[in-house]
Amino acid sequence: DSGVTQTPKHLITATGQRVTLRCSPRSGDLSVYWYQQSLDQGLQFLIQYYNGEERAKGNILERFSAQQFPDLHSELNLSSLELGDSALYFCASSVAAGGISGYTFGSGTRLTVV
């Protein structure tokens, strides 16, 4: 157990639907990162939050949004889902904003859009 908890582990939904992925960072970590892993695109950075504030944004679609709550857990909202959104979504956390000690990853949420 890495200390980063992601729920659910698996999610199957239809095109056009909206889902929410949840992440609880490791205890003491203030930074949360979201990554999308697909076969053709590899690991793509989506967004980072640090202590409740958005810090960096990567290749995140406008249909996707995220937030970090006062208790530091984070949610990634994916709406108007398309088949191409099927992927493994990782949450990671680190103590500092820069993540120079490396990130601790959760076990991921496997999203399948049918």
Partner 1 sequence: AQTVTQSQPEMSVQEAETVTLSCTYDTSESDYYLFWYKQPPSRQMILVIRQEAYKQQNATENRFSVNFQKAAKSFSLKISDSQLGDAAMYFCAYNSPTGSQGNLIFGKGTKLSVKP
Sites of contact with partner 1 (CB under 8 A): 2, 31, 33, 42-43, 45, 48, 50, 55-58, 88, 90, 92, 97-105, 107-108
Least Å distance, CB 57 to partner 1, is 8
Task: Pick between residue 36 and residue 78 the one whose CB is nearest to partner 1.
Answer: 36
Could you tell me the sign of the dihedral formed by the alpha carbons of 26, 91, 107, 16, in that order? positive
Q: Which is nearer to partner 1, 5 or 79 (CB)?
A: 5
